Amino acid sequence: MSRQLHFNLFLHDTGHHEASWRLPESDPYANLSLAAHQHLTRVAEEAKFDSVFLADSPVLWSDPGRRPSGKLEPTLLLASLAATTTRIGLIATASTSYNEPFNLARRFASLDHLSGGRAGWNIVTTAGEAAARNFGLDEQPQHRTRYERADEFLEVSTKLWDSWADDAILADKQAGVHAARDRVRSIDHHGTYFRVDGPLNVPRSPQGYPLLVQAGSSENGKEFAAKWAEAVFVAQPTLRESQDFYADLKRRAVAAGRDPDHVVILPGIVPVIGDTEAEARELDAELERLIAPEFAVATLATVLGVDADRLRLDEPLPADLPGEDEIEGHKSRRTLIVEWGRRENLTVRQLIGKLGGGRGHRTFTGTPVQIADTIQHYFENGAADGFNIMPAVLPSGIEAFAAKVVPILQERGLFRTEYTGRTLREHYGLPRPANRLELISR
């Protein structure tokens, strides 16, 4: 089969535009509704999306005055969604800085079993002082330290997932033997950050272990992705930046001894869809009018590492902003925003208008054909293996994308019309990982 697109739906309460909850159609309680998440996931599954994804953080994510900010625990929510779907992948975010490997390895192996092999883990290291204080720390660990811990966290997790051989369970009723004891092994990990004996108390799951996803674009983040990630979510606002990132990460994967085709790169795109350009632009303008500037400026200031009173709505960004090396969190996003604002000579007001839809992801306003053309152009010109679809408004945004954009791409032979596999790895064209402990024992 010729190369085809991959689509992930990024679930985000009423939509990715920060003012989406203010539209008459929006349910301001959708972030807490199982029924709302079930509907969105069914729409994506009927459109044959590879997966849905839930972001998460161990801290109140945004100013609760600005938009719906409460988050249900993602693996619990996805376990519920697994019961009402059959094929679509289910990806949850979890932090390596504020969890322990045994607990997370067990949680994701359980989700993989419950879903029949559809689980994925979006690995984050979690920036921010507020998160650190929720776990008894006076300050957040340094950026490099967080990635060093994450690297060992993945080393331990994969060992735990491999601590059961695939053929360990015999279920031999006549002999009275449920599992071969010598096929369930300790891992005896003694490292810098973790000491874990194992084995895991969950047998090896249908995918071997869940799909590993990553979204950081700093130098440390890209090195981590090249070593571990099987799918990468990335924010790049232009074609050239997407192409540069794509080529760089594929090169890093090769340098790490991996097949670059086994690292699926998915830029975010925020589609604002209308049957005509005028209709799409009218929706975009309405959303921009509903942005509350005081909240948006405060959020932008946090990312840039400055006090909010230094940002003037009708002036460009200050010339003396802290550099990427001077801040501990959101490094790559900070650089993306600053370069974007300066390249286009945007005022703070114009910048928050552009960021309101996708926080630095590519926002595209247009007709279904125009959006399909843009997706195809990225896909065929070394910028993407697919896209992280981030509708500005939900549920209407994904309903329109599924009904109007997906059929165009299917007619062009660029996207599946039916699922050909049952697991998330099969959807992304990725192999089931060999059991490393099994290979070592040989």
Question: Annotation-wise, does 17 bind a ligand?
Answer: no
Task: Count other C-beta atoms under 10 Å from residue 393's C-beta.
Answer: 26
User: Which of 24, 47, 31, 5 has its CA nearest to residue 385?
Assistant: 5
Question: Annotation-wise, does 242 bind a ligand?
Answer: no
Question: Annotation-wise, does 217 bind a ligand?
Answer: yes
C-alpha 310/C-alpha 142 separation (Å) is: 26
Question: Annotation-wise, does 93 bind a ligand?
Answer: yes
Output the pLDDT for position 436: 84
Residue type, 53: F
Output the pLDDT for position 339: 74
240, 220, 18, 299: CA torsion to nearest 10: -120
How many helices (DSSP H) and strands (DSSP E) are in the chain?
16, 13
Question: Annotation-wise, does 428 bind a ligand?
Answer: no
The pTM assigned to this predicted structure is 0.88
- Domain segments of the chain: what residues? 6-276+362-441
C-alpha 265/C-alpha 250 separation (Å) is: 9
C-alpha 365/C-alpha 274 separation (Å) is: 8
C-alpha 221/C-alpha 204 separation (Å) is: 28
Which superfamily, per CATH, for 6-276+362-441? Luciferase-like domain (3.20.20.30)
Which segments of 12-63 are extended strands (E)?
51-54
Complete DSSP assignment for 148-193: HHHHHHHHHHHHHHTSB-TT-EEEETTTTEEE-GGGB----EE-SS
- pLDDT tens for the chain, 442 residues: list them: 589 999 999 999 999 988 899 999 899 999 999 999 999 999 999 999 999 999 999 998 777 877 888 899 999 999 999 999 999 999 999 999 999 999 999 999 999 999 999 999 999 999 888 899 999 999 988 989 999 999 999 999 999 999 999 999 999 999 999 999 999 999 999 999 999 999 999 999 999 999 999 987 789 999 999 999 999 999 888 899 999 999 999 999 999 999 999 999 999 999 999 999 999 999 988 888 887 666 667 777 777 777 877 887 777 888 777 776 655 556 566 776 777 678 777 787 777 766 655 555 788 899 999 999 999 999 999 999 999 999 999 999 999 999 999 999 999 999 999 999 999 999 999 999 999 887 665 5
Output the pLDDT for position 328: 57
- The three-class DSSP label of residue 364 is strand
